[in-house]
Structure 1
Amino acid sequence: MKTIVIHSIHPGEGKTKVAKELAGYLQLQGHSTLLADLDFVTDPARRALGLPSTPNLEDLLEEITRQSKINPFFNINFSEEQMNQYLLTHNSGLKVLSSENAKYLASDERIAEKLTVVVRSLKKLPYDYLIIDTDSSARDYNQAIIQEADHVLIVTDNFRYSVKDLRHYVMKMHDIGFSTLNFKIVLNKVPNPLQVSIEELEQESGLKVIGIIPVLTKGTKAATMQTEDINLTVAEPDKNPEFLQAVKDVLAAL
C-alpha cells in the first residue's frame, strides 16, 4: 500500500477536492483505494463526500478509547473484518472512512495516539492506495498522521501570504525533527502571474510543485448528503478533460 496524505496550511484550499479526486481516479483505474477523511474539524456540509453519516471515524475512535482502558495504544489491533465495519462503499468500489464535525476531539489529549492507531490499522488493509484527508492545523495529531505517509501533498495557492506561511510551516517541521523530503506542493488553481511564480514558490519553500489542479468547471454537479454518492469529477472525463489530466499529472509525479 502507498499512503498519500493531503494537507494544507490554511482551510478552504481544496484538500478534500484533491483527496477525493485522486482516490476516485485511482479506483476507477482499477487500483483498490481507501479514502480516509481524518478532518473532524471542518463543517461536514463543506465536504463533498455525499455518503451516509455513519459509520464514521468517531465510532472507530470510541472503540479505540474503550480498548485503551485494557491495552496500551501500541497493542490495539483490528482485524480486516473489524475495520470493514467502519467503512462506507461508493458505487465505484472506493472505500471511505468518513468523518463528521467533532471539534471536541481536537482537545482530547490522546487524540494523536488514537489517530496513529487508526492510520496503522488502515495501512494493514489489502488496498493499493490509502489517501488521507487532514484538517489544516499544525497540531500534534496531524504530525502523527504525516509521520505514517509515503507522500505528503501540500495543497496551496501562490499568494504571497500563503508562500510565507508555507515557508514557516516547513521550518517548524524541521525544528521538531521532521524530514520534508517526501513533501510536495499541489497548486489548487492555475497560478496568477501577478503572484509568486512556481520557481520562486519552490525556492522559498524548498518543496517541488508537482501539479496544478484547476478550479472545477461550471456546471459540474454537486454532491448532496442524500445522494449517497461522491461527486467524482474524474468519472466525467468528457466534461472536464483538463481537470482529469491535472489529476493524472499529480499521480504520475509521485
Structure 2
Amino acid sequence: MGFRQGAGFLLRGLRLWRERPRLMLLGIVPALIVGVLLAGAFVALVVYADDLISWATPFADGWSEAIRSVFRALLWLLVVAGAGMLAIVTFTGLTLAVGDPFYEKIWKEVELSLGGTVPDRGVGWLRGIADGLVLVVMGVVTAVVVFAIGLLPLVGAVIGFALGLVLSGRLLAGELVSRPLEARGLDRAQRAALMRQHRGAMLGFGVCVQACFLVPLGGIAVMPAAVAGATYLAREALDRAPR
C-alpha cells in the first residue's frame, strides 16, 4: 500500500458521516472538549504574547525602536506559530486520552462492518490515557524540533512546516492504528513489524489527517473519521499479512 491508498482510508472514514452520522457524532464529544480548551489557551497566549516577549528580551530595550520592533515582531510570529503547531500535535493525544471509550465504539463498529474476527474488547481506558499522554509528549518534542528549524533564515519556515507535517502525521497514524491492532493481541514489536510493510500508506494517512487538523475546527470533525480510517488501514494490513 502506498501514499494514495493511505489517503483513501481517511476518505473512507469521512464517508461514515453520511452513512453513520449518529456514530460519528459520538466521536465529536471528546474532540470538542479538547478543542475548546486548546483554543482558549491559544487565544490567551496571543493576547499576552507581547508582554511575555518583552519580559523575556530585556536586552533589546536599549536597541533602536525600529530594530527592537522588528525583532520582537518576528519573535511574536515564532511564538504564535510554535504554539499553534504544539496545539495541533497535542490535540490528538489529549483527545484520545479523554475519549478512548467513544473511539473504541467507533472502531468496533467499523470492525463489525468489515466482518471476520472482531475483538471483543479494546485496550482499556487507563491504557488509552497512557498512550494518549505519550503521544502528547512526542508532539511536544516534535513542536520543539520544528520551532528550532523554523529559526533558520529564508527556508527555515517552509522546511519546518513540511517536516512538522510529516513527523506529526506519522506519529498520529501510528497511535491511531495501534488501537485495533493491540486489541487483537499484537504487541508493540509485532505492530511495528506489520506496519513497516506499509510505510507509504501510514505516511499518506497520517499527513492527510494532520493537514485536516490545520483547518479551523477541522480536527473536531475529522477525528472520528480518522479513527474509522485507521481501523480500515489496520484491517487491510492484517488481510495482506502472510498467514
- Whether TM-score is above 0.5 comes out as no
Using CA pairs below 8 Å that are at least 6 residues apart, which structure has the higher relative contact order?
2
**Structure holding more helix per residue:** 2
TM-score (norm 2): 0.26
Higher Cα Rg, which structure: 2
TM-score (norm 1): 0.25
**Structure holding more strand per residue:** 1
